[in-house]
């Protein structure tokens, strides 16, 4: 239930002050006073309705600005703080324009030191009661050197800093342009951040609930990052806005709290809520051994505490059995090749970390070697590839049990095996999406990279392949990984994690029955252009098809189809594999409209890893269906993949693309793309200021291996991710146009 | 990039380091090219002193590319390093004939699955170092394919090639003798200079990289001197200026094109 003291904007007169939940009134008897909300460290802003639109009120307010009554404690210091605030504050006057409605006006003051674009956006959301409207643009009135006045867009914190510095005398004039947008079921179905987990009140409409939920993240993240307030203080300040249950910033999940997510039999009853909790605060180190098994989708649903123990014992025995079967599953030459490759990498993986710092024949290095070798032997279509040791290393260090770590590794590789496929398609998709995201978030930076010839972003290859595991110090990487994994929807196995993958079938992707030397020769003697060109071709085609409608867009798309077809032929995929490829698009299209998407990444991976075992949940007729252009939520990328056998057939023009929807973005891990974006933006100014070229860019980020600042990157990534989820740009033609570089 | 590390005392070259084997060398002169020496003495080296020359290191998985680079750049045989994924790089500063000069060493991934991504870093290379394992005949056989891939991104006439056999410490003299015969044949075929090194013992590592730095520097200065000479002639002889301009244009296009 809403607190009775909560402010209602519609019913207040122009001089009514903001009312705190406690009921205290500031400057009750002084009309036109500027009043600041504060507890200990001040966030200064006061909202004042100004329906008349007249300049007189603003001028009067400026003339009669005065201090609020000092708070009960620290009178002298508070007075000094107030004085400082008066010198620092920027007065803002906002005009809201919405299609044919008459304009509305609001006035308030902000402290530019702590007001980021996110904070400003949410002040505006509150001031104009924009909860039900998902798209609006902000621009400010600027004067050039000739005194010409024009409105410039506010699209980044940099823009806002410029506005504060150059256009805030006597006040900053803003304009808010509302753009209507269609509601979409996608956000309702995307369950990473559930409304009921964030806002306790059921009184709110579903639409407002979703909007408030996603709006909360960047607002609170920005507040927290800038004022460094304690949890209780945050709750005190924010409770009047969102209700009692907003807990966006938390310490790591503790054992005691973890048990509140289990019922009396030890079953996990609220998996989504657990993930949201970890998303916000991570996991206490001592608890990772238990909780990571949920995040890596090791347990099927509904296991009791005892059943989980039995399950892990059984899977560990299964692992030990597989480990004893190396010689039976591969021939001696292939086994030797796998083992020597794995061993070389194990000896150079995280050796600076205490767990792996021991002698080369130590137990932990042996466990890592055996784990990776067993995986390569039991998954011949994936085998071993450099980088897998980086993924396995933190899991083994946390589990400290070879068998348990192997089951967890199988869990993560279910999602990531595609990264290591020789055809490079999964990586090409991720590069294309990262490129889209960067262009979307910062067109100027993107253009800079284009001119430097670095817009392929290949210096991010290691980031995407290893999901940034190597970019942070080891302990920071553990936190980054669990936050990232918790941003994904739960995907528990139906019965058990499978420890054995499909047998080798395509000769050039596995070791099968070939002897070691011929295999290596074949790898190295791949036809010229076939191996090296395929990945870049895929990137180019995907990027082209992601550009959306443009001059020659249809022709480009047709060329992309031909390219994809040729790429697939070159990779030697069999015909029935093509049938499987057309299948996921249909599933996604159907599910997007009618079902929750919790498991949507699974069909893609299942189909990819089991070409001869069609999904049991799929009726045979879907194999004949082709996605229709009328399904607005479908992705052009998937549509094109879904029509590989009819390259000559005209493809219906896809809807204009902002960014792909969450279940497709980043090929199953959208939050990771925002981590990459956060790192890029963190270094944006340095890169552009120094004019780094292609090589210098790669060198710059190569120097930063294991050195990125986790706190800053996570905060920025979460804020950007929340904006993405809230904006639903992927559905809106107007949204796409509005955010395109102009 | 604005603040460059000072040149270490042991990175000063006053004389041309010699090749290992005359049978497979880029050239066998005992001294720098006279025009290079003259240009340095008269401080007419153009922008070479502020230039960074790109050198890429390619070869099979685990032939020891990263060890080789680390041995020279860090003078260590450090086992606690990371497997190369995508690309790593090291910058080394030299002083050649009194002129500062930098090598940008790009260490690429040897595993098949990373070859496609690594190829994007080949562009703009002035020297290509192809590494094979002296104890693995297959890795020598693969060097031609590595070269083919690298040359797709570069103009062959403007690239210096080095064929380097690594892990010499693991070879017996008899084995090495047989392998060297094969390697020299390959080096002559691809017009590369041959070296044999050991990252473990450090044998020939320093000499090899000094040779790379010297020859790359020499090529850079010669290119600059020739450009200056062409411009000089163009100023005097009007009729020839058209031909020279055409030559410059063609040269520029040729040097920068990426197939």
**What confidence score (pLDDT) does residue A661 get?**
85
Task: Report the pLDDT value the prediction gives residue B86, as an integer from 0 to 100.
Answer: 67
Q: How confident is the model at residue A153 (pLDDT cuts 50, 70, 90)?
A: confident
Residue A507 has pLDDT above 60, yes or no: no
Mutation target for B interface from A382, A461, A688, A691: give the one with most B CBs within 10 A: A461
Q: Going along A565-689, which residue ranges are E strands?
A: none
As given in the structure block, the two tokens for residue A215 are 């709006």
Q: Chain A contacts of B148, Cβ < 8 Å?
A: 528
Q: What would the DSSP string read from start to end of A493-543? A: -SS------PPP-SGGG--TT--HHHHHHHHHTPPTTHHHHHHHHHHHHHH
3-state secondary structure of A66: coil
A36 or B213, which is more confident? Answer: B213
Number of compact structural domains in chain A: 2
> Which of A699, A701, A706 best probes binding to B when mutated, by most B CB atoms within 10 angstroms?
A699
Judge whether residue A11 has pLDDT over 70: no
SS3 label, residue A376:
helix
For tokens 């004949």, the residue is A624
Same domain for A477 and A332, yes or no, is yes
Residues 6+ apart with CB under 8 A from A13: A49
Flag whether B258 is in a domain: no
Q: Which of B54, B116, B144 to mutate to test the interface with A (most CBs of A within 10 A)?
A: B116
Smallest CA–CA separation between A730 and chain B, in Å? 29
A161 and A268 in a common domain: no
* B239 within some domain: no
Which comes out higher in pLDDT, residue B90 or A366?
Answer: A366
CATH number at residue A132: 3.10.20.90
* Nearest-by-CA chain A residue for B138: A521
Question: When comparing pLDDT for A553 and B169, which is higher?
Answer: B169
As annotated, the binding site of B for GTP includes 62-66, 78, 81, 84, 110, 167, 169, 198
pLDDT given for residue A131 in this prediction: 63
B91:A696 CB<8 A: no
Chain A residue numbers touching B133 (CB-CB < 8 A): none
The whole-number pLDDT of residue B82 equals 61
Over chain A, what is the mean pLDDT? 65
**Annotated binding-site positions of B for Mg(2+):** 66, 84, 107
> Can you list the pairs that A476-479 forms with residues at least 24 positions away whose Cβ atoms lie under 8 Å?
A476/A708, A476/A710, A477/A394, A478/A285, A478/A288, A478/A394, A478/A398, A479/A282, A479/A710, A479/A714
At A27, is the pLDDT very low, low, confident or very high (cuts 50, 70, 90)? very low
Are the Cβ atoms of B85 and A459 closer than 8 angstroms?
Answer: no
B116 band by pLDDT with thresholds 50, 70 and 90:
low
Question: For the segment A388-433, what is each residue's pLDDT rounded down to a tens digit?
Answer: 999 999 999 999 999 999 999 999 999 999 999 878 889 989 999 9
In this structure, are A267 and A402 located in the same domain?
Answer: yes
Q: Which residues of A touch B115 (CB under 8 A)?
A: 531-532
pLDDT of residue B40: 84
Do residue A367 and residue A465 come from a single domain? yes
**pLDDT above 90 as % of chain A:** 32
Whether A448 maps to a domain, the answer reads yes
Contact B114 A341 (CB under 8 A): no
The nearest alpha carbon in chain A to B59 belongs to: A524
Domain-embedded: residue B208: yes
Pair A160, A270 in one domain: no
Identify which of A13, A8, A162, A149 has the alpha carbon closest to the alpha carbon of residue A90: A162
Residue A165 pLDDT grade (very low, low, confident, very high; cuts 50, 70, 90): confident
Say what the pLDDT of residue B115 is.
65
> What pLDDT is recorded for position B143?
93
pLDDT digits (tens, 9 = 90+) for A579-600: 233 222 222 222 222 222 233 3
- The residue ranking higher by pLDDT, A131 or A239, is A131
Please write the tens of the pLDDT for every residue from A97-144.
Answer: 776 677 778 888 777 777 778 778 777 877 777 765 556 778 888 777
Residue where a domain terminates, one of A487, A503, A532: A487
Average pLDDT, chain B: 77
Quote the CA–CA distance of A274 and A737 in Å, as a whole number. 37
Residue A739 lies in a domain: no
> Is A665 among the domain residues?
no
> Would A722 be classed as within a structural domain?
no
- Residue A621, Cβ neighbours under 10 Å: how many? 8
All residues of chain B having their beta carbon less than 8 Å from the beta carbon of residue A510 are none
Do A284 and A401 sit in the same domain of this protein? yes
The verdict on residue A107 lying in a domain is yes
Per-residue confidence (pLDDT) for residue A658, from 0 to 100: 75
Contacts of B131 in chain A (CB under 8 A): none
- CATH number, residue A385: 1.10.8.270
Residue A467: the pLDDT is: 96
Please report whether residue A330 resides in a domain.
yes
Number of folded domains in chain B? 1
Task: Say if B109 is an interface residue toward chain A (CB within 8 Å).
Answer: yes
Confidence band, pLDDT 50/70/90 cuts, at residue A151: confident
Best CA proximity match to B214, nearest among B94, B115, B134, B67: B94
Instruction: Identify the band that residue A505 occupies on the pLDDT scale cut at 50, 70 and 90.
Output: low
Q: Is residue A584, in this structure, part of any structural domain at all?
A: no
Tell me which residue in B62, B89, B124 faces A344 most closely, judged by beta carbons. Answer: B62
Q: State the CB neighbour count (10 A cutoff) for residue B92.
A: 20
Task: With beta carbons under 8 A apart, name residues in chain A contacting B2.
Answer: 690
The per-residue DSSP string of A179-203 comes to: E-----HHHHH--SS-HHHH---S-
> Is residue A448 predicted with pLDDT exceeding 90?
yes
Q: Is A307 helix (H, G, I), strand (E, B) or coil?
A: helix
The angle that helices A402-416 and A601-609 make with each other, rounded to 10 degrees, is: 100
Q: Does residue B250 lie in a domain region? A: no
**Residue A228: per-residue pLDDT:** 36
Residue A110 belongs to a domain: yes
Residue A260 — very low, low, confident or very high, per pLDDT cuts 50/70/90? Answer: very high
Q: Name the residue facing A535 among B91, B109, B117 (closest C-beta).
A: B117
Searching chain A, which residue's CA lies closest to the CA of residue B150?
Answer: A532
Domain of B224, CATH number, reads 3.40.50.300
Least confident of A208-217, A322-331, A725-734, B137-146: A208-217
Q: What is the CA radius of gyration of chain A?
A: 28
Q: Do B88 and A702 touch (CB under 8 A)?
A: yes
B69-88 residue pLDDT tens: 888 887 554 444 566 676 77
Query: For residue A17, what are its two tokens?
Result: 């002050």
- Region A202-229 average pLDDT: 38
Q: What residue numbers bound the domain in which A313 lies?
A: 255-487
User: CA–CA distance from A30 to each of A25, A33, A85, A424 (Å)?
Assistant: 11, 6, 19, 67
Last residue of a domain, one of A438, A453, A487: A487
Q: A323 and A434, same structural domain? A: yes
User: By residue range, what is the domain housing residue B195?
Assistant: 20-233
* Final residue before a domain boundary, out of A428, A456, A487: A487
Q: How confident is the model at residue B246 (pLDDT cuts 50, 70, 90)?
A: very low
Mean pLDDT of B4-20: 80
- Residue B209 in domain: yes
Which contiguous run of DSSP H or E holds residue A294?
helix A288-295
Which residue stretches of A22-133 are H helix? 55-63, 75-88, 117-128
């Amino acid at each position: 239930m809403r607190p009775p003291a909560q402010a209602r904007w519609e019913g207040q007169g122009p001089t009514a002050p903001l009312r705190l939940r406690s009921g205290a009134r500031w400057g009750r008897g002084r009309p036109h006073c500027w009043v600041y909300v504060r507890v200990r460290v001040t966030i200064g802003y006061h909202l004042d309705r100004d329906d008349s639109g007249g300049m007189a009120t603003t001028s009067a307010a400026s003339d009669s600005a005065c201090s609020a009554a000092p708070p009960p404690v620290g009178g002298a210091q508070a007075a000094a703080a107030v004085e400082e605030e008066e010198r620092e504050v920027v007065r803002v006057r906002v005009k809201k324009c919405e299609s044919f409605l008459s304009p509305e006006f609001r006035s308030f003051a902000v402290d530019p030191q702590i007001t980021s674009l996110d904070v400003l956006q949410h002040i505006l959301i509150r001031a104009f009661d924009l909860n039900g409207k998902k798209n609006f643009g902000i621009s400010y009135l600027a004067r050039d050197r000739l005194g010409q006045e024009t409105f410039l867009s506010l699209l980044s914190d940099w823009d806002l800093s410029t506005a504060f510095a150059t256009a805030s005398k006597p006040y900053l004039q803003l304009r808010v342009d509302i753009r209507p947008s269609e509601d979409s079921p996608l956000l309702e179905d995307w369950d990473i951040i559930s409304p009921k987990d964030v806002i306790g009140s059921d009184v709110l409409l579903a639409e407002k609930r979703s909007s408030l939920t996603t709006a909360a993240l960047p607002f609170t993240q920005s507040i927290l990052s800038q004022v460094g307030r304690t949890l209780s203080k945050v709750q005190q300040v924010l409770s009047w806005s969102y209700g009692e249950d907003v807990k966006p910033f938390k310490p790591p999940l503790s054992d005691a709290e973890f048990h509140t997510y289990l019922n009396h039999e030890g079953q996990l009853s609220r998996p989504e809520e657990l993930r949201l909790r970890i998303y916000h605060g991570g996991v206490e180190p001592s608890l990772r051994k238990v909780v990571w098994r949920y995040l890596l989708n090791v347990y099927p649903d509904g296991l009791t505490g005892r059943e989980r123990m039995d399950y892990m014992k059984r899977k560990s025995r299964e692992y030990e059995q597989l480990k004893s079967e190396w010689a039976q599953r591969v021939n001696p030459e292939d086994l030797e090749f796998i083992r020597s490759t794995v061993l070389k990498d194990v000896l150079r993986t995280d050796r600076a970390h205490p767990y792996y710092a021991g002698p080369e024949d130590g137990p932990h290095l042996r466990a890592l070697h055996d784990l990776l070798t067993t995986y390569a032997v039991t998954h011949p279509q994936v085998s071993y590839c450099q980088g897998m040791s980086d993924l396995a290393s933190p899991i083994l260090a946390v589990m400290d049990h070879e068998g348990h770590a192997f089951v967890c590794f199988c869990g993560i590789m279910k999602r990531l095996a595609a990264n290591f496929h020789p055809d490079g398609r999964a990586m090409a998709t991720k590069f294309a999406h990262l490129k889209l995201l960067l262009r979307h978030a910062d067109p100027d930076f993107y253009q800079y990279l284009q001119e430097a010839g670095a817009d392929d972003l290949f210096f991010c290859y290691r980031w995407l392949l290893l999901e940034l595991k190597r970019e942070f110090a080891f302990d920071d990487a553990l936190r980054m990984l669990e936050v990232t994994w918790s941003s994904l929807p739960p995907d528990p196995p139906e019965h058990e994690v499978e420890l054995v993958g499909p047998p080798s079938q395509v000769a050039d992707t596995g070791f099968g029955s070939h002897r070691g030397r011929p295999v290596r020769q074949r790898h190295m003697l791949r036809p010229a252009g076939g191996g090296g060109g395929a990945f870049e071709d895929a990137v180019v085609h995907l990027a082209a098809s992601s550009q959306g409608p443009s001059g020659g867009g249809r022709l480009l798309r047709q060329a992309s189809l031909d390219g994809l077809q040729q790429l697939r032929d070159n990779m030697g995929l069999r015909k029935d594999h093509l049938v499987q490829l057309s299948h996921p698009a249909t599933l996604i299209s159907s599910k997007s409209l009618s079902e929750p998407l919790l498991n949507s990444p699974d069909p893609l991976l299942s189909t990819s890893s089991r070409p001869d075992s069609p999904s049991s949940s799929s009726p045979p007729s879907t194999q004949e269906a082709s996605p229709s252009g009328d399904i607005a939520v479908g992705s052009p990328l998937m549509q094109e993949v879904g029509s590989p056998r009819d390259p000559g057939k005209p493809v219906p023009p896809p809807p204009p693309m902002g960014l792909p929807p969450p279940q497709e973005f980043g090929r199953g891990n959208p939050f990771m793309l925002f981590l990459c974006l956060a790192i890029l933006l963190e270094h944006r100014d340095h890169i552009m200021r120094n004019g780094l070229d292609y090589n210098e860019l790669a060198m710059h980020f190569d120097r930063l291996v294991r050195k990125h600042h986790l706190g800053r990157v996570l905060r920025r990534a979460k804020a950007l991710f929340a904006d993405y989820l809230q904006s639903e740009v992927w559905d809106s033609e107007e949204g796409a146009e509005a955010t395109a570089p102009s | 990039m604005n603040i460059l590390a000072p040149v270490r005392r042991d990175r000063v070259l006053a004389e041309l380091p010699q090749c290992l084997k005359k049978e497979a060398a880029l050239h066998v002169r005992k001294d720098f090219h006279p025009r290079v020496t003259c240009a340095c003495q008269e401080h007419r080296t153009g922008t070479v002193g502020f230039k960074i020359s790109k050198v890429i290191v390619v070869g099979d998985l685990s032939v020891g590319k990263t060890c080789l680079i680390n041995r020279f750049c860090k003078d260590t045989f450090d086992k606690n390093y990371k497997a190369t994924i995508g690309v790593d790089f090291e910058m080394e500063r030299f002083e050649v004939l009194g002129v500062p000069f930098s090598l940008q060493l790009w260490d690429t991934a040897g595993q098949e699955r990373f070859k496609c991504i690594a190829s994007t870093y080949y562009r703009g290379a002035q020297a290509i170092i192809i590494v094979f394992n002296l104890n693995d005949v297959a890795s020598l056989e693969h060097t031609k394919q590595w070269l083919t891939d690298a040359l797709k991104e570069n103009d062959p006439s403007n690239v210096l090639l080095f064929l380097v056999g690594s892990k010499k410490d693991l070879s017996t003299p008899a084995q090495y003798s047989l392998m060297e015969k094969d390697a020299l044949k390959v080096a002559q075929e691809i017009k590369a200079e041959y070296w044999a090194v050991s990252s473990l013992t450090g044998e020939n590592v320093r000499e090899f990289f000094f040779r790379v730095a010297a020859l790359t520097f020499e090529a850079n200065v010669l290119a600059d001197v020739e450009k200056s000479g062409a411009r000089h002639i163009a100023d005097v002889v009007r009729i020839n200026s058209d031909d020279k301009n055409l030559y410059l244009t063609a040269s520029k296009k040729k040097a920068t094109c990426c197939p």
